[in-house]
Amino acid sequence: MHSALEQKYHRIQKQLIAGVIALVGVALIGTLWYCLVEKWPLLDAVYMTVITLASVGFGETHPLSDRGRLFTICLILMGVISIGYIVNRFTEALIQGYFQEGLRLRQQRRSMDSLSQHYIICGFGRMGRQTAAEFQAEEIPFVAIDSDLASIQLAQDLGYVAIQADATLDVTLLRVGIERAVCLVAALPSDAENLYTILSAKTLNPKVRAIARANTEEATQKLQRAGADAVVSPYITGGRRLAAAALRPQVMDFVDGILSGTGRAFYMEEFLIDSETFSHIGQTLRDAKLRSRTGALVLAIRRADGNLIGGPTADTHLMEGDKLICMGTPEQLRQLNQILSPLHSQSLRLPKHI
């Protein structure tokens, strides 16, 4: 689905093309008449047609019969109508700013085509805006989709790449490069819309990580069955955070500072262990010496089979496919990234000024 302004731009574009085709057709009819009926040379026929349509007031190239003069009158009228139509459409496009819209659409299309390993935010409501702000802070490439024009204009005013469209449609997801995306966040207000979006995304790109918003527990289960890798309910999560803030305020302050605070001293990051880049697979954390070499703390290990090991000890073995959940300063995490994945050391997104 295209925005109203985009639809008007395409309509004006088609009308201008139709006007030009009509004018060329009128010129071709005039040339053929003078050439075939009046028996004039081709150059004279073209010349007579051009000066007639341009209404410059030149005389006849060759004497015309009454029939030829009647045709010339008709040719002038057809030319005036065609040129007037083109001028009218061009003036409207100029006044309404459709040419600027066309330039913006071409720039947007180039931006979409250049996106790779990016994130897609479906829905630019309160949750979508907060997600976009976090992505922007982490310097993660993303594109936002929303059917509401005001929301998209707000996103564009903030400097985000955003389009007005229906995120539940396959054509929309293909337009924003779902086949090249790393992750999709379905933050639409309706559970049904989020469900359709997840189904479409997983069909078009089974490897994409899909995160969905859910308003009810029933919707959470349905979204998980549809293929969502993670489902977040703002009401359930918000309730748990309220309780935690009341019961364990210092813990919540510390966690919030790590995950979403400003001016952070510590960060949390996850690292995937790959045998192609890490030579210590099968060894223990003690043997790998990750803590002594970097200073970063391994908080947990998620095994490839989904088993979570919280607070791993020095005797915990590192296995292929493990995901290490670590905490440390930006410099400590960069050093850890160099050890675990030296070929992808630039993929760690932490503030450059720290």
Domain boundaries along the sequence of the chain:
4-100, 116-238, 263-347
Q: Tell me, what's the pLDDT at 9?
A: 66
**What does DSSP say about strands 119-122 and 142-146: parallel, antiparallel, or unpaired?**
parallel
C-beta of residue 130 within 8 angstroms of C-beta of residue 160: no
Confidence of residue 1 (pLDDT cuts 50, 70, 90): very low
Residue 219 and residue 153 in contact, taking contact as beta carbons nearer than 8 Å: no
Given a cut of 60, is residue 2 above it in pLDDT? no
- Give the per-residue pLDDT at 159: 85
Looking at residue 96, what is its pLDDT? 65
- d(CA 51, CA 59) in angstroms, rounded, equals 9
Write the CB contacts of 196 (distance below 8 Å, at least 6 apart in sequence).
Answer: 168
Candidate ranges 10-14, 231-235, 316-320; pick with highest mean pLDDT: 316-320
More reliable by pLDDT, 173 or 103 = 173
For 101: left if phi > 0, alpha if psi spans -120 to 50, otherwise beta; the answer is alpha
Note the pLDDT tens digit of each residue in 72-120: 889 999 989 998 888 888 887 777 666 565 566 666 667 666 778 899 9
Work out the mean pLDDT of the chain and round it to a whole number.
83
pLDDT at 316: 93
CATH for 4-100?
1.10.287.70
Residue 78 CB neighbours (<10 A): 19
The predicted pLDDT at position 56 comes to 74
pLDDT at 184: 95
For residue 275, give every residue at least 6 positions away whose Cβ sits within 8 Å of its Cβ, in sequence order, or none: 281, 320
Distances from the Cα of 206 to the Cα of 20, 168, 260, 306, angstroms: 46, 16, 29, 19
Residues 129 and 152: beta-carbon distance below 8 Å: no
For 23-60, how does the pLDDT look when each residue is reduced to its tens digit (9 = 90+)?
999 999 999 999 999 889 999 999 999 888 887 767 77
Note the pLDDT of residue 200: 94
DSSP conformation letters of 182-237: SEEEE--S-HHHHHHHHHHHHHH-TTSEEEEE-SSHHHHHHHHHHT-SEEE-HHHH
| Statement: the pTM of the whole predicted model exceeds 0.95 | no
Give the pLDDT mean for 308-318: 91
Select the more confidently predicted residue: 197 or 352: 197
Which pLDDT belongs to residue 236? 77
- Residue with the bigger pLDDT between 147 and 261: it is 147
Which pLDDT value is given to residue 112?
A: 67
As a whole number of angstroms, the distance between CA 228 and CA 213 comes to: 10
pLDDT for residue 140 = 86
Per-residue pLDDT, 143: 92
pLDDT of residue 208: 93
Residue 353: band (very low, low, confident or very high) from pLDDT cuts 50, 70, 90: very low
Least confident of 2-6, 172-176, 280-284, 306-310: 2-6
How many other CB atoms are found less than 10 A from the CB of residue 215? 15
Report yes or no: 163 and 145 within 8 Å, Cβ to Cβ. Answer: yes
Query: Which CATH fold topology does 263-347 show?
Result: Alpha-Beta Plaits (3.30.70)
pLDDT, position 343: 44
Helix (H) or strand (E) holding 271: strand 267-272
Closest by CA to 294, choosing from 334, 265, 236, is: 334
Q: What Cα–Cα distance (Å) separates residue 57 from each residue in 61, 280, 334? A: 12, 90, 78
CATH architecture of 116-238: 3-Layer(aba) Sandwich (3.40)
pLDDT bin (cut points 50, 70, 90) of residue 282 is confident
Q: For residue 275, what pLDDT is reported?
A: 76
Overall average pLDDT of the 247-269 stretch: 70
The alpha carbon dihedral of 146, 149, 151, 157 has a sign of: positive
Annotate 273-293 with DSSP letters as a single string: --TTT-S-TTSBHHHHTHHHH
Identify the helix (H) or strand (E) that includes residue 96: helix 66-96
Pairing of strands 297-302, 323-328: antiparallel
3-state secondary structure of 48: helix
Residue 347 has pLDDT above 80, yes or no: no
Greatest mean pLDDT among 139-148, 234-243, 271-280, 342-351 lies in 139-148
CB neighbours (10 Å) of residue 303?
13
pLDDT at 344 exceeding the cut of 50: no
Percent pLDDT > 70 in the chain is: 86
β-pair partners for 269: 326
Residue 160 reports pLDDT greater than 50: yes
Instruction: Give the whole-angstrom CA distance, residue 151 versus residue 128.
Output: 10
Q: Judge whether residue 237 has pLDDT over 80.
A: no
Q: Smallest Cα–Cα separation from 64: which of 29, 31, 27, 39?
A: 39
Tens digit of each residue's pLDDT (9 = 90 or more) over 187-224? 998 999 999 999 999 999 999 999 999 988 888 889 99
CB 32 within 8 A of CB 18: no
